[in-house]
Amino acid sequence: MPFLRRRKHTDVSDSHIDNNENDDDIQEKSKRNRREERLRKWSCVDICCWFVGCICSIWWLLLFLLNAMPASFPQYVTEAITGPMPDPPGLKLQKEGLRAKHPVVFVPGIVTGGLELWEGHHCAEGLFRKRLWGGTFGELYKRPLCWAEHMSLDNETGLDRPGIRVRPVSGLVAADYFAPGYFVWAVLIANLARIGYEEKTMYMAAYDWRLSFQNTEVRDQSLSRIKSNIELMVTTNGGKKVVVIPHSMGVLYFLHFMKWVEAPTPMGGGGGSDWCAKHIKAVMNIGGPFLGVPKAVSGLFSTEARDIAVARAFAPGFLDKDLFGLQTLQHLMRMTRTWDSTMSMIPKGGDTIWGDLDWSPEGGYMCSAKKLKNNDTAGQNLNQSLSKSKGVNYGRMISFGKDVAEAHSSEVERMDFRGAVKGNNLANRTNCDVWTEYHEMGIGGMKAVADYKIYTTGSILDLLHFVAPKLMARGGAHFSHGIAENLDDPKYRHYKYWSNPLETKLPNAPDMEIYSMYGVGIPTERAYVYKLNTYSECHIPFQIDASADGGSEESCLKGGVFSVDGDETVPVLSAGFMCAKGWRGKTRFNPSGIRTYIREYDHAPPANLLEGRGTQSGAHVDIMGNFALIEDVIRVAAGATGEDLYGDRVYSDIFKWSERIDLQL
């Protein structure tokens, strides 16, 4: 019996062990299943989180190393790879014995000046005096709709919206850097400091670049501040006149200022007709859109430029989707159409300057000319390129269809859009998340715009009045885009004409000098091929047709955009015409014979990544770091004249193109 009991006990024990082993197997299988399930989940969420985490960790490690390494290490590495770097212009000219002489005034352009919040709505809590524009743009990512609301102006007045006050940042920091690591004026300021300039001899004429030029005075007294600061700098520097350096739209802003400061109060500054002669030595305009830019037209018409069209080509429909509750282009259009300053850059001079259906000053321009310059077979290729480029007519600023852009005017049937009825059979616009003025046009109005087929500069204003009536109603009170027949007509004393060089006279200051300094050698937007997109009434109906292409490397048409020579933003014609012809010598636009000079900078991209944005760049903003340009500026600030710089330096066909323009001088 004891034996039987032991055997029974043993059997029970073995059974218990087997059960335990089975339980362990089940638990192991369960763990394995859970592990496999977790791995399956990793494919959608965890892998993304780990990827972002790795990127952030690498970024912070690189940032730590950058701050930990000696300041001279990057230069040491660069010189070890590329050889010794040339001295910065400031150091070079300091060794030559140049010293600070004339006070310097910087006038920033559109978008490059910082804006900060002084009063806002509840969604902007905690942002008092934080930058909404410039800097890190952190609030754009955190609260995009709130940011767009506070960056917009009132759609009726063009001034502040109720409960919102956004104001320009003051001081040199207003526009030294646009964003961390992306310089605007910083390199020029640093080089001027090398020869002795400091805060008391440099002044950043910051202003709210969203406002119309006259409204910067109405709201902020910005023009009065510029006048007072220039007078103070002249007084405190022994009577030495200032050298003014405007950039981009700042060129038009300062042109407006020179008329404002002479004009009697209350419309003007009351400085008298000799104020500029007493206070300004030279105006050195960098990348000046004197006659406007085609880019402004595409921006107002469809919130596009070449880069947006390219993005659409790579990801069709992406920018039009309601991404995270933010319809990007619609919000951008609604915001930017409240910025009256954009009206200042609509092309001026109409068909006389920019060309008509069958003619343009740049006709025959060869987009491949720079490539063929050193080619042994250049003769044959040159003729082929010339024959192809003759078909390009830049006078057609907007064409609906590639075939329309290339056809002879006699072959194009057009239907006038001006009498079209708006609001015909449009779906209920309350279904649209973001309202734009296109929602009031209706399908009939949209089709009428496309049926007109070709828009020259002469009809662009009518087009914008049709598609953006509120913007044009405000802008028409502040800007004009024509050519004056008689500059002595009293109507031209109004401020709406002051920023148009074709409708105003330069100051009576024969000893003053005016420079036009800009980059060349970069394809620059000049005309567009559009298409009508009616797949949804809630979207912007007109788009650059990125599929329109010239079909060869030499073609000037790529991605729906016709290119011409320029600095990537401003065509040569706009930047150079006034100094090449309109103001050259004594003309009705320059009755005192102010000396004008053209200084072009042939674009050369950086040789490698270590060179950053390059020291020979001709691009619209990067040119601010161009060593040749900086040297020219420093020499003039130190007392040199245009003759000391050997007069004009020209690489483009600006003089030939200017002569083709039949303008009464």
For 147-176, write each residue's pLDDT tens digit: 999 999 999 999 999 999 999 999 999 999
Pairing relation of β-strands 182-183 and 165-168? Answer: unpaired
Grade residue 138 by pLDDT with cuts at 50, 70 and 90: confident
Within 8 A by CB and 6+ apart from 321, the residues are: 327
Residue for token digits 């650059």?
A: 544
Query: What is the model's pLDDT at position 563?
Result: 95
Query: What is the model's pLDDT at position 87?
Result: 87
Enter the tokens of residue 183. Answer: 């310089």
For 436-484, write each residue's pLDDT tens digit: 778 777 788 888 899 999 999 999 999 999 999 889 999 999 999 999 9
**For the chain, how are helix, strand and coil distributed in percent, rounded to 5?**
45, 15, 40
Q: What is the pTM of this model?
A: 0.85
Query: What is the model's pLDDT at position 442?
Result: 78
* 36, HSE (Cβ side, Cα atoms, 13 Å): 6
Query: What is the model's pLDDT at position 602?
Result: 97
Query: What is the model's pLDDT at position 528?
Result: 95
Compute CA 524 distance to the chain's CA centroid, rounded to the nearest angstrom.
12
Grade residue 388 by pLDDT with cuts at 50, 70 and 90: very low
* DSSP collapsed to 3 states, 303-322: CCCHHHHHHHHHCCCHHHCE
Does 78 or 119 have the greater pLDDT score?
119
Enter the tokens of residue 619. Answer: 């691009």
For 333-345, write each residue's pLDDT tens digit: 889 999 999 999 9
* Active-site amino acid positions: 248, 567, 620
129 SS3 class? coil
